[in-house]
Structure 1
Amino acid sequence: MKLTSEERKNKILHEVITKGEISINQLADELGVTTETIRKDVSFLDEKNLIEKKHGLVTKVNTFFENEFSVKENTQLPEKIKVAEMALNFIPENAAILLDTSTTVLQLAKLLVMRDDLTIVTNSLQISQVLANSDNQILLTGGLYRKKSNSYVGDWAIQAIKEMNLDVAFLGCDGFSATGPTIRSYQELEIKKIMVEQSKKNIVLADSAKLKNTGLYSYVDYQNLDVVIVERNLTEVERQAFPEELFFYTN
């Protein structure tokens, strides 16, 4: 099936992020288009400062990418990218969406640089930096800066989100319990609860490794979620532990 221009650019980003470097010719072969088409796509992404052209090669350029991938963000990276790509299907045109501070949601933010019709609310400094070159409207909550997650929490951030009516919230987690997704940080707990309350639809993005973990704090029950996107089917044991009807698979 022929890819759209946006799908093709997303695929190029995927290849560059996961491989670090790839040639124009290789991209053309993999995507089944001409090198001229790939060069036009690459020029667009280069103008957005997402990738860099180097004598027939395409490489990562943004310093934020390197910092993110070098530590926690590098864990389960291919799985996170697959989840993020699937999440694109849940974003309607001209929507007001929220992106929280998770590393999987960060991968979604990188794909939204190519959109220009969205209002994007976030408490993540990293996500606001990634989206700085997009033509979407970006709203950063501000608040108490939390160094560990490079994000804003506390009353100021909470009050900002309380004033908003959001179409979709994309949320991350550290694990899952029998009642819902969980996190390890108490500082993030209250703001995540408010995000859920202020959004018409709530979608959790998680790589399947999180299914084996349980964080200390539950921020939402399964009945208040609409979708959980993971990159593979649930095992028989997992289907017994979690509400399978909520899970959407990328494979």
Structure 2
Amino acid sequence: MYATERQAHITRHLAERGRVSVVELADDLSVTTETIRRDLAALEQQGILRRVHGGAVPLRTGSVVEPSIAERMMVNADAKRAIAHRALDAITDGYRGAVVFDAGSTVGAIAAGLGERVAATGARLDVVTHAVPVAHTLSLLPDIGLTVLGGQVRGLTAAAVGTSTLSALASLRPDLAFIGANGLSADFGLSTPDPAEAAVKAAIVRSSRRVVVVADQAKFGVESFVRFAQLSDIDVLVTDAAPESSLADALEAADVEVWIA
């Protein structure tokens, strides 16, 4: 296979997955990892991608770059629906409790499936969220109690942030939290580009008895600008592919359950 063909393959998979792995690409294309690294270097010089530890991400995926909620909903949509379906297993038969929903497209997919899960399990939930799209979805469900936290709404994510949001979260002790992340790495933990959004995520993590993080494989190895939690702060990671060895080892050391959708 010529270099141009390999690089076209890499570019296509990057667009589909949001991240590519050197090892996986080498296996897919039956070439050495050194060959893949040269291809990634060439594509980086062309302005197509940015190399990160173990692979590459799209060029615009810098530590402070943040896509809008509308853009996120279009990326890896099938994977996010599968992750959401698996994450809802955290709500077991007859579950009783308070649940916090973070902002984000994958968490939004969980909210979209909550009504069916409640009907199937007989769960009785009091739900809290600071995310406007999630609040709208949950407001249509007749069998849950819904509290919407106020604050300054960020246009990019349609989520409330700021002092009033943080103050409200500090007074809560929910049983379960569903939370998203822009980045998930062995060394840096969980991260997101915006400091205000990170503060809210950190407050959710601190306040919740059980934290379920939902993140597709495109987030693996990504380190966004602001860390909001260590791996040891979370209980479950729900994702669409097994993490690479370094991240898998770090998750195991932190006693994090990994659920594959």
Determine if contact 1:180/1:220 at 8 Å carries over to the other structure.
Answer: yes
Match of 1:249 among 225, 235, 259: 259
Quick check: which has more Rg, 1 or 2?
A: 2
Between 95-104 and 176-185, the greater mean CA deviation after superposition? 176-185
Correspondence list, 1:17-32, <5 A: none
Judged with a 3 Å threshold, the aligned counterparts in structure 2 of structure 1 residues 238 and 160 are, in CA distance, closer, same or farther, namely closer
Judged with a 3 Å threshold, the aligned counterparts in structure 2 of structure 1 residues 70 and 150 are, in CA distance, closer, same or farther, namely closer
Determine if contact 2:236/2:259 at 8 Å carries over to the other structure.
Answer: no
Deviations 1:135-172 (A, max 9, x none): 21111001111111111000111111111110011110
1:83 aligns to what?
83
- SS at 1:148 equivalent: coil
- Between the aligned partners of 1:146 and 1:212, the Cα distance in structure 2 is 26
1:118 aligns to what?
125
- Between the aligned partners of 1:212 and 1:219, the Cα distance in structure 2 is 15
Deviation at 1:200, TM superposition (A): 0.5
Match of 2:211 among 202, 210, 225: 202
- Between the aligned partners of 2:69 and 2:178, the Cα distance in structure 1 is 20
1:134 aligns to what?
141
Match of 1:155 among 157, 163, 167: 163
Match of 1:103 among 102, 105, 117: 105
Q: Unpaired segments of 5 or more residues in structure 1?
A: 1-67
- SS at 1:97 equivalent: strand
Determine if contact 2:96/2:125 at 8 Å carries over to the other structure.
Answer: yes
Instruction: Point out which structure has higher relative CO (alpha carbons under 8 A, 6+ apart).
Output: 2
Deviations 1:60-85 (A, max 9, x none): xxxxxxxx996321101111111111
Determine if contact 1:82/1:250 at 8 Å carries over to the other structure.
Answer: no
Q: Which amino acid aligns with 1:138?
A: L
Q: TM-score, normalised by structure 2?
A: 0.66
- Between the aligned partners of 2:74 and 2:221, the Cα distance in structure 1 is 18
- Between the aligned partners of 2:236 and 2:188, the Cα distance in structure 1 is 14
Judged with a 3 Å threshold, the aligned counterparts in structure 2 of structure 1 residues 201 and 70 are, in CA distance, closer, same or farther, namely closer
Q: Unpaired segments of 5 or more residues in structure 2?
A: 1-67
Q: Which amino acid aligns with 1:83?
A: I
Aligned residues, how many? 183
Deviation at 1:225, TM superposition (A): 1.0
1:226 aligns to what?
235
User: Does 2:177 match 1:174?
Assistant: no
- Between the aligned partners of 1:204 and 1:126, the Cα distance in structure 2 is 19
1:31 aligns to what?
none
Deviations 1:83-109 (A, max 9, x none): 111111112412201010021111000
Determine if contact 1:230/1:247 at 8 Å carries over to the other structure.
Answer: no
- SS at 1:166 equivalent: coil
1:6 aligns to what?
none
- Between the aligned partners of 1:217 and 1:187, the Cα distance in structure 2 is 9
